[in-house]
Amino acid sequence: MTEIGRNIERLRSEMPQGVKIVAVSKFHPVESLMQAYDAGQRAFGENRAQELVGKVGMMPGDVSWHFIGKLQKNKVRMVVRHVSLIQSIDSEALLRLVDAEAARAGRVVDVLLELHVAREETKSGFSADEMLALQDCGEIAALRNVRVCGLMAMASFVEDARQIEREFGEARSMFERLRCGMFAGRDEFAVLSMGMSDDWRIAVDCGSTMVRIGTTIFGAREY
């Protein structure tokens, strides 16, 4: 067993039932992804379109690819054909564009709406108000080529566990609110993606159903 394989097994043994692990493989070479694959990992997350598409061709066909980064409009067409989940929908315009490109490609693409909860300008996503406005306009649920499967959120990059908990708590509340509101009766709206290497335990305690783990699996990234 490789070190990466052992890291995944350890993580799995610590993860509560029902929490899905996405291996965030950005900046890591395909050899590292293959070590994770050989340990049974199938969901991988990338944050750059070019890198994702390049890796798709070099990895086995049963990998499911998650896009987790800032998605530029001119990259939507490229990404839509390969992904099983776009986690980082940060505007209504982007959601509509993904819907249009998915229609062109003859697909239905699963997406998560990204909620901005961090006290940091650098992180993106809908504000709570924007998300509620989306709910009020009601048109989103009518889009045919995207399936909104839940929310994604990132906490502030801080040491203060209580602040992180507060932010994940906000995401959880919004998730519940939409689940009983705009997405009521839609069983697919069931994913709450939050938690990374340093804060996944807090995220899971706050109700996360999907964690996105890079460093703990693959080691430090070299940019």
Ligand X SMILES: *Cc1c(COP(=O)(O)O)cnc(C)c1O
Give me the residues that bind ligand X (CB under 6 A), please: 24, 26, 47, 68-69, 154, 196-198, 212-216
Closest separation in Å from C-beta 127 to ligand X:
18
Closest separation in Å from C-beta 83 to ligand X:
14
Closest separation in Å from C-beta 217 to ligand X:
8
Q: What is the number of the residue whose Cβ is closest to ligand X?
A: 214
Closest separation in Å from C-beta 100 to ligand X:
24
By three-state DSSP, how is residue 203 classified? helix
Closest separation in Å from C-beta 26 to ligand X:
6
Residue 34 CB contacts under 8 Å (≥ 6 apart), including other chains: 59
Matching residue, tokens 């709206």: 189
| 133 vs 114: CA distance, rounded Å | 14
Q: Give the nearer residue to ligand X in terms of CB position, either 143 or 211.
A: 211
The residue type of 69 is: G
| 39 vs 32: CA distance, rounded Å | 11
Q: Give the nearer residue to ligand X in terms of CB position, either 46 or 182.
A: 46
| 84 vs 73: CA distance, rounded Å | 18
- The alpha carbon of 151 is separated from its chain's Cα centroid by a whole number of angstroms, namely 8
DSSP state of 185: T
Q: Give the nearer residue to ligand X in terms of CB position, either 117 or 143.
A: 117
